């Protein structure tokens, strides 16, 4: 999707990290599940936010269905 990087700030501001996640979560790999993926920016930004907030080494994105086309 041409220019999809321009939507990243909007995606970032629409996501909220759950403050009730227990301490010690950084000891685990995180499986991040989304029902539908179009450009992939929501999963990309969410994975980055989780990794930075909780110092998680590995966040693994998983989508049930892909609805859009990637330019990769």
Where are the domains positioned within the chain?
1-12+28-72
pTM listed for this prediction: 0.75
Spell out the per-residue pLDDT of the chain, length 72, in tens.
Answer: 445 667 777 888 889 888 888 888 889 999 999 999 888 888 999 999 999 988 988 999 999 998 876 555
Alpha carbons 33 and 30: distance in angstroms, whole number: 10
């Amino acid at each position: 999707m041409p220019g999809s990087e321009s939507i990243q700030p909007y995606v970032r501001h629409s996501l909220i990290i759950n403050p009730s996640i227990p301490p010690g979560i950084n000891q685990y790999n995180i499986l991040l599940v989304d029902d539908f993926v179009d450009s992939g920016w929501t999963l990309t930004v969410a994975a980055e936010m989780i990794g930075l907030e909780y110092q998680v080494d590995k966040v693994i994105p998983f989508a049930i269905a892909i609805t859009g086309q990637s330019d990769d």
